[in-house]
Amino acid sequence: LLLLLSLSLIASCIYSPPVRCCTIKSNCSMCDYGVSTQLHGWLFRPADLNACRKRANQEARKYLAESKDGDKSTIPFYKFASGLSQRIKDGKEDGMDVDAPELTSQGHPYLEPEEEALLVTFYVAKIPSLLGPFAQNAYLRREVKVTATAAALFRRFFLSNSVMLHDPKHILVAAAFMATKVEDCMTQAHHLEEGTKLMNSPVTQAEILKAEYPFLGGINCDLLCFHPYKAVLALTEDLRTFLKTRKGRILATFATGEDRPIIGQDLSPMHNAARALVDDAVVSDIPFLYSPGQIGLAALMVANDQINKPEVPKIDLLGYIEHRFEEQEHETVKGQVIALGEMLKELKEGKYGCGNHKVDLQMLKGVHKKLKKCRNGEKKKKKRKAEPKEGEPESKKAKTA
């Protein structure tokens, strides 16, 4: 049964029929990746991903330029990223460009889409400290899939919306709160407030609850998320079974030249290393570009290549693909997995929006300053100088001031 489930997951993640979500008629299909909103609404080409961020930036500029005296009582939210690829494919997307000014009314430049993406990258990397196995608040410790869901929902929101309109700190906590509901391990808002205080970035319960409505609207209420963790486990279990067969035994070799059947613990190092790669992938843009099954298979391939211990077998995963997939799919799957594997290796360099490594903090500081200036109606409060007391010497008056 596990083998059948594993193969079903792999096949549905890598190749899925073009079925719309509205065709679902049974409850059991609601958890099928092949008919999920993630597949049909949140997979993009790199150019479409950039177009979403550009439009979100332009919509924010337009709103800030047209709003009166910094009035923020009715801040809009947008959801155009949801289903964009399908609309483009169907010829129903008119265009993504919006006329927007370059400077604020005070003459300050607005943030660029790349600068907004840097802020989103920084904040999404903070989610594991707030929610997940390593959360600072013990009441917020959950399975890693909850962290991944929060990261996915947070990134989805900022494909259609701008940090110039919506505080990423508030949206991050709202995403974490929603993730606990989606993954059926709900927490209470006051625990999240306490967690943000431990991170020295306090967000109140009122701010969390207020952010929920625009957050849900900005992701088009597409809450279900699939992650590569299950794919890594399913593939590892299938490998463990297949490598014990006559065809599979030739795919595993030991550096010591040892010739013996694969046992359970032999694949544990590869599995654990692949999960570590997935930890980086789920906070990056890669889940917007590839399916969970593709990411899981590529992570195992990279982990297999990077482990150089004599007691750990080397697995011919390209040979495994030839045995476990249809013949006409071999070259397609190999090409996808090899290309994706190279991308996963680059996550350690901070590429593809992975905030777990090498974030330019100096540049980030400059972006934060720029954000404060371009937000309409947010002016820096000047500290009032203390009035010098009579009879004090001039040097003391100056020091007091």
The tens digit of pLDDT for each residue in 315-374 reads 999 999 998 888 888 888 999 999 999 999 999 999 999 999 988 888 999 999 999 888
> Strand pairing of 314-315 and 252-253?
antiparallel
> Which residues are CB-neighbours of 394 under 8 A, at least 6 positions away?
none
Instruction: Kindly tell me if the per-residue pLDDT of 141 is higher than 60.
Output: yes
β-partners of residue 315 are 252
Residue 196 near residue 202, CB atoms below 8 Å: yes
Q: Give one DSSP letter per residue of 323-363, joined into a string.
A: HHS-GGGHHHHHHHHHHHHHHHHHGGGT-TT-TTS---HHH
Average pLDDT value for residue range 113-130: 95
In angstroms, what CA-CA distances link 157 with 82, 126, 130?
Answer: 9, 16, 18
The pLDDT of residue 193 is above 90: yes
Mean pLDDT of 111-124: 95
146 pLDDT band, cuts 50/70/90, is very high
Residue at 174: amino acid letter:
A
- Please check the confidence at residue 65 and state whether its pLDDT lies above 70: yes
Is the pLDDT score of 216 beyond 80? yes
What is the model's pLDDT at position 2? 46
Pick from 61, 203, 69: nearest CA to 137? 203
C-alpha 217/C-alpha 220 separation (Å) is 5
Q: For residues 111 and 316, give the distance between their C-alpha atoms in angstroms, rounded to a whole number.
A: 47
Instruction: Spell out the alpha helix ranges (H) of 168-316.
Output: 168-182, 189-198, 205-218, 228-242, 246-249, 268-281, 292-306
How far is Cα 6 from Cα 2, in angstroms, rounded to an integer? 6
From CA 86, how far away is CA 88, in angstroms rounded?
5
Give bridge partners of residue 103 from the DSSP assignment.
109
Lowest mean pLDDT among 15-24, 28-37, 125-134, 161-170: 15-24
Number of neighbours of residue 247 by Cβ within 10 angstroms: 11
Amino acid 27: pLDDT = 36
CB 378 within 8 A of CB 368: no
Predicted confidence at residue 71, as pLDDT, reads 57
Identity at 398, one-letter amino acid code = A
- Going by pLDDT thresholds of 50, 70 and 90, the confidence category of residue 147 is very high
**Would you say 212 and 172 are in contact if contact means Cβ atoms under 8 Å apart?**
no
DSSP 3-state assignment of 314? Answer: strand
pLDDT at 7 over 90: no
Nearby residues of 353 by Cβ (< 8 Å), 6 or more positions away: 117, 120, 121, 124, 155, 283, 284, 285
Query: How does pLDDT run across 366-395, given as a tens digit for each residue?
Result: 999 999 888 754 444 444 555 555 555 555
* 385 within 8 A of 401, measured Cβ to Cβ: yes
Segment 201-213 mean pLDDT: 95
Give the integer Cα–Cα distance in Å for 40 and 48. Answer: 14
Helices (H), 80-126: 84-89, 113-124
3-state secondary structure of 369: helix
| CA atoms of 48 and 31, how far apart (whole Å) | 26
pLDDT, average across residues 77-101: 84
Q: Is the pLDDT of residue 129 over 60?
A: yes
